[in-house]
Structure 1
Amino acid sequence: MASRLSTFLLVTASVFFSTTNATGHKPPVAPPQVTIRNGTVRGVHSSEWNQDYFLGIPYAQPPVGELRFNNPKHLDTRYPGGVFNATSYGDRCFGVNNTYPSAESEDCLTLNIVRPSGCKDKKLPVFVWIYGGGFNMGGSSNPMYNLTYPVEQSVKLGKPFIGVSFNYRVTAFGFLGGTPLSNAGINNMGLRDQRLFLHWLQENIAAFGGDPKRVTVGGESAGGFSMGIHSLAYNGRNDKLFSGIIMESGSALLSGRYSILPELDQIYAILVGSVGCGAAPDTLACLRQIPYEYLVPVITALQNLGAIWRPVVDGDFIADLSSRQLKTGRFVKVPILVGAATDEGTIFVYDPSTATYGVQDDAQLLEVLQLDGGPQASNATLAKIMDLYPDNPVIGNPAGSPVRFSYPYLSQYKRVSAIATDGFYVSGKILTTRAWAKAGVPAYAWRWNTLLPDHPFQLGVTHASDLSFWFGNVDGVSQTLDSYNLQPLKRRQNYVKLAKLMSKMLVSFVSDSTPNHHGVPGIPTWPVYSLSNPKNIVFDGNTTVYAYPEPDTFRIKENNFWIDHSEEFYH
């Protein structure tokens, strides 16, 4: 039964799939089957977890041939033979610097469903997870994103839901831009993959026992920012694709800036020239004919030379800057959870060319600000940022110590980390929650402040380090780092309690649109964000009171400056 399961499930087969023998084990359960428009989907049953798995289901036509570097197309044919064996994860979409092993290919637009067994005739809420990776890597088969744990927690809490994950195109395959594509109406292909998946879910999830009217979509980093974009898509048009959003280390204000056409044209010209398509009468058609194996190293080299794959304002799917839409209330009005880590920016100031973190002096800092701010940011604005964030290690990130860390952490590492934390993450979280509060829609904000033992202390409480806590994976199954490897034992127990609380809060939000129905006694109410009294809940496993509310006022002057100038930074 487990012979065709993915790498993750094979590695953990003893946990996920019980075997059958003649000594009294339960007889094998028939594979679960579901019929949708394309045919019958045949999955795998886990007796150990009492769950059904449907893995690697295609939701779009393979983006190959004429569909390479094209907007995704709906899958409108039946499965060969009428049956699809959904027993293993599909190939991961090509990415650069992925951190886990997986087969990769262009034919990668697949999804995975994990459901409690026996729910096919029910209408359970649905939790969707979108992976991050800066739009240049990631995949739904990553063991970190295994949905068995959240689904199990939902059953234990008496609020069962169905978990869903999926692949979308990244790197140039998902975010190549330029005049030839723009003229053809092709842009933001990876985000359009996500949108097509959400439509597939609306059409088909009821057959698996899910309620299409109760779909909560969450993601971390680029996945969180993706959901922010979907809340703004088509100028905030509500296509009834989701009823709630979770943005972990992400928000509805894009981190960094949108791409601009001159940059996209430059990258496009380098790509077509590098593969011999520069003189072709139709360069896009030529690119579609280049063998995949030839394109991959060229795209990798482009990224290593500094190419950045990110969304573009196209006047259609992305109608306007996210900052403008948030400030004018043009977004889908559904409840959200949104949060950031205390030291979000520390991992983003790493320079792989020198293997160092941060900058050494003011001149280097100004150069970084000019690069990240883009051509729209004025010299006066950049000077004001340097004034707002003085070179004082006590108030930088990570904060609390007058010590400047030794090499490879450069002299102004803490300073530029604080700028990255606020400019890329915290200011976006604040603007998002303010927009929701102004519209009278529930928003729940958090700050992650738990220092993990598997991270260098110089990085502090860094980006997306709360993922295993939200998923409740306290056993660390198939995780390369153990976030709970702590001494003394009491401290480890505190971390486990925090993970169980957070995973129950996630279940509560998916089920009831509030994180407060978690059933854990003694936990303060997570307040709805308000303009008059804005508050986060803080998750801090290093304290005995591991969840508590706080005013959302830290570095508020600095974050207000970022918000006031967000259009200038082309967010």
Structure 2
Amino acid sequence: MSCDQPVTEEVGSSRTPLTKVYSVFPQFHTLIFLALGVLATANAPIVDLGYAQYQGSVDTATNTTSFLGIRYAAPPLGNLRWAAPQPPPIMSGVQPALTQPNECYQAPLGNASTNPFESISLSKRTVSQSEDCLFLNVYTPGSVVVATPSGGLPVVVYIHGGGYISGAASLYNGADLIVESNYGVITVVLQYRLGLFGFLAGEAVKEGGTPNAGLLDQNYAFQWVQAYISHFGGDPAKVTIWGQSAGAGSVIQHVVAHGGNTQPPLFRAVMTSSTFLASQYNYNDRIPEILYSMVVNGTNCGSSSDSLSCVRAADVNTLQTLNSNINLDGFYGMLTFVPVVDGTFIVERPTVTLSKGRLNGNYLLAVVNTHEGNILVDQSTTLDVADFIRTIYPNFGPAQITGAAMMYQNMGSNVDQANLVMGESMFVCPTYYMLDAFGEQSWKGEFAIPPGLHGVDVGEYFTSYSDGPVYDNSQFITSFSNSFMAMAMFETPDHRYASGDITPSWKTWQHGFTEMIFNKTSEGVPRVYTSKTDMDLLERCTYWRNVSAYSAQ
């Protein structure tokens, strides 16, 4: 990140812009950061990446070092809109890696009652939104960074969630994971193009650019890790990729990328928290082409002989308005700009590749929440389950609608049924598809702390996230978070490296369909135990898998 980018000072829960002060008095950088208790002096570690030198900061409270806002690719501006990421520019001098990077442009969830194609509002952001957002944050143990040409610490690369339309690296403090691992890992938190900017598809985009630009950004960040993480003391042969929600959906995409045969390999293990697999159409199918036409018309490019070049030249504010409005006009809780089958990076629907057992990565830890679908369903909906299924899966015919509806018709109210359809078809069942594909090298967990809603588990491992842990119990947090960190360090969650870990012995999922349940008693005491997968649930997942050609999964 260059010195002239906006910098903010955190004061309690809000931040005060310091851009004007810094632009006029750049020599105030060091004084102000020292006043904030952040080590930003000449003895803070500097890492030379060849194309740039970055100076991090030491947090003496956690005994970690952070490098914030490292460019891993060129700014995706102008002709690089909807193009594959390119190498970062060469920058002279030492770049201060002290402040959170710009986040990629954000968009809201759908809020319409009918469009097949209460919105969760975007929380107030503390960093600027920009197209120039291809940055990552690196966190290392201790105050000294030692390059390791060979060997080094395991690396956790975290992909944020947000439905492919929102989220940012600034929301996640990678130091949390380092402390929980007993200083046994290095953490990388990456950003990628979102919404219209990251997932615009269509024939014209395929011919003149690339669909799935956001996924290619992630892949490029993985390549950056392979090339540079040894400079921070990490081992590129010991990389685990981990994502939550759309971040976990992204993990699926990388597992099946290049038909499950990415060469050279970019990671050895994968972890998913609330796997999200939306309808993934071919890049030139009806719905992606409709979305492309909406963008073309919204930028007044309909009469252009080269519509993509015209859209690339559009004002960013116009594009961001379209990004927000198109998403908001989608059906309640649904997402419009999501990954597609592009024929190159993603060569076929993910369920097809998974069914062939062709996988990138060797080990899987998959965790879901008890009630994944609820937040994406209008809890006052009057749609019966058949109409709900017809709306979220517009390619379903009468046979698929009837078959799916019959599975849920005796499972509570129409809202209860819609919650289950959403949660199982898009989150829970894709998790089992992954578990089945990884076989004896996969483990399954469930976060069951009430209310068990989608996303409430994040604060149990990123303990400084948002409002903190929903269940602030140190014994539980140790049990839950250590399972992930053990996976990253030892290729199995069944490794006890910290005292006080109350987790019983993990068994692989295929060992009797065994799962680890993370819950608490009515008295508020942690309860972590093994359980068997519900066979009725697996039968419903078999149905969803059998109709995946119609759901486009």
Common fold: TM-score over 0.5: yes
Say whether the 8 Å CA contact 1:199–1:241 is kept in structure 2: yes
Offset from partner CA, 1:264-322 (integer Å, 9 cap, x none)? 12111121112211111211111111121222112211212227011111111001111
The partner residue of 1:561 within 521, 529, 543 is 543
Return the alpha-carbon distance in structure 2 between the equivalents of residues 100 and 235 of structure 1.
39
- Match of 1:206, SS state, is helix
**Letter of the aligned partner of 1:154 in structure 2?**
S
The partner residue of 1:388 within 407, 425, 439 is 407
> Which residue is equivalent to 1:424?
426
The offset of 1:7, in angstroms, is: 5.2
Return the alpha-carbon distance in structure 1 between the equivalents of residues 34 and 297 of structure 2.
58
The offset of 1:163, in angstroms, is: 0.9
Compared with structure 1, are the counterparts of its residues 465 and 304 closer, same or farther at alpha carbon in structure 2 (3 Å cutoff)?
same
Say whether the 8 Å CA contact 2:107–2:195 is kept in structure 1: yes
The offset of 1:20, in angstroms, is: 7.1
Say whether the 8 Å CA contact 1:18–1:47 is kept in structure 2: no
Say whether the 8 Å CA contact 2:267–2:361 is kept in structure 1: no
Trace 1:407-422 onto structure 2 (pairs within 5 A): 412-422=414-424
The offset of 1:368, in angstroms, is: 2.4
Say whether the 8 Å CA contact 1:31–1:43 is kept in structure 2: yes
The partner residue of 2:479 within 476, 501, 504 is 501
Return the alpha-carbon distance in structure 2 between the equivalents of residues 5 and 309 of structure 1.
28
The offset of 1:150, in angstroms, is: 1.1
- Structure 1 segments, 4+ long, off by >6 Å, are 3-6, 17-21, 25-29
The partner residue of 2:494 within 481, 503, 516 is 516
Q: Which moved more, 1:417-426 or 1:177-186?
A: 177-186
The offset of 1:8, in angstroms, is: 8.1
The answer to whether structure 1 residue 107 and structure 2 residue 137 are counterparts is no
The offset of 1:5, in angstroms, is: 9.8
TM value normalised by structure 1: 0.83
**Letter of the aligned partner of 2:532 in structure 1?**
P
Offset from partner CA, 1:58-83 (integer Å, 9 cap, x none)? 111100011112221122x421x232
**Letter of the aligned partner of 1:68 in structure 2?**
R
The answer to whether structure 1 residue 373 and structure 2 residue 396 are counterparts is no
Return the alpha-carbon distance in structure 2 between the equivalents of residues 84 and 481 of structure 1.
31
Q: Quote the sequence identity (%).
A: 25
Compared with structure 1, are the counterparts of its residues 39 and 241 closer, same or farther at alpha carbon in structure 2 (3 Å cutoff)?
same
The offset of 1:242, in angstroms, is: 0.8
Return the alpha-carbon distance in structure 1 between the equivalents of residues 242 and 307 of structure 2.
37
RMSD of aligned residue pairs (Cα, Å): 2.7
Return the alpha-carbon distance in structure 2 between the equivalents of residues 28 and 361 of structure 1.
60
Compared with structure 1, are the counterparts of its residues 27 and 312 closer, same or farther at alpha carbon in structure 2 (3 Å cutoff)?
closer
Unaligned 5+ runs, structure 1: 351-356, 394-410, 452-459, 485-491
Return the alpha-carbon distance in structure 2 between the equivalents of residues 99 and 426 of structure 1.
27
> Which residue is equivalent to 1:461?
452
TM value normalised by structure 2: 0.85
Q: Which moved more, 1:103-112 or 1:419-428?
A: 419-428
**Letter of the aligned partner of 1:536 in structure 2?**
E
How many residues get paired? 505
The offset of 1:557, in angstroms, is: 2.1
Compared with structure 1, are the counterparts of its residues 27 and 71 closer, same or farther at alpha carbon in structure 2 (3 Å cutoff)?
closer
> Which residue is equivalent to 2:65?
52
Offset from partner CA, 1:115-157 (integer Å, 9 cap, x none)? 1123424511111111011111111111xx11121111223xx
The answer to whether structure 1 residue 338 and structure 2 residue 366 are counterparts is yes
Compared with structure 1, are the counterparts of its residues 383 and 330 closer, same or farther at alpha carbon in structure 2 (3 Å cutoff)?
same
> Which residue is equivalent to 2:466?
479
Return the alpha-carbon distance in structure 1 between the equivalents of residues 255 and 452 of structure 2.
28
Return the alpha-carbon distance in structure 2 between the equivalents of residues 525 and 18 of structure 1.
49
The partner residue of 1:30 within 43, 54, 58 is 43
Return the alpha-carbon distance in structure 2 between the equivalents of residues 426 and 322 of structure 1.
15
**Letter of the aligned partner of 2:446 in structure 1?**
R
Return the alpha-carbon distance in structure 2 between the equivalents of residues 134 and 96 of structure 1.
9
Return the alpha-carbon distance in structure 1 between the equivalents of residues 266 and 302 of structure 2.
41
Return the alpha-carbon distance in structure 2 between the equivalents of residues 266 and 419 of structure 1.
26
The answer to whether structure 1 residue 285 and structure 2 residue 285 are counterparts is no
The partner residue of 2:154 within 106, 125, 132 is 125
**Letter of the aligned partner of 1:105 in structure 2?**
S
Say whether the 8 Å CA contact 1:18–1:48 is kept in structure 2: no
The answer to whether structure 1 residue 534 and structure 2 residue 513 are counterparts is yes
The answer to whether structure 1 residue 319 and structure 2 residue 347 are counterparts is yes
The answer to whether structure 1 residue 240 and structure 2 residue 230 are counterparts is no
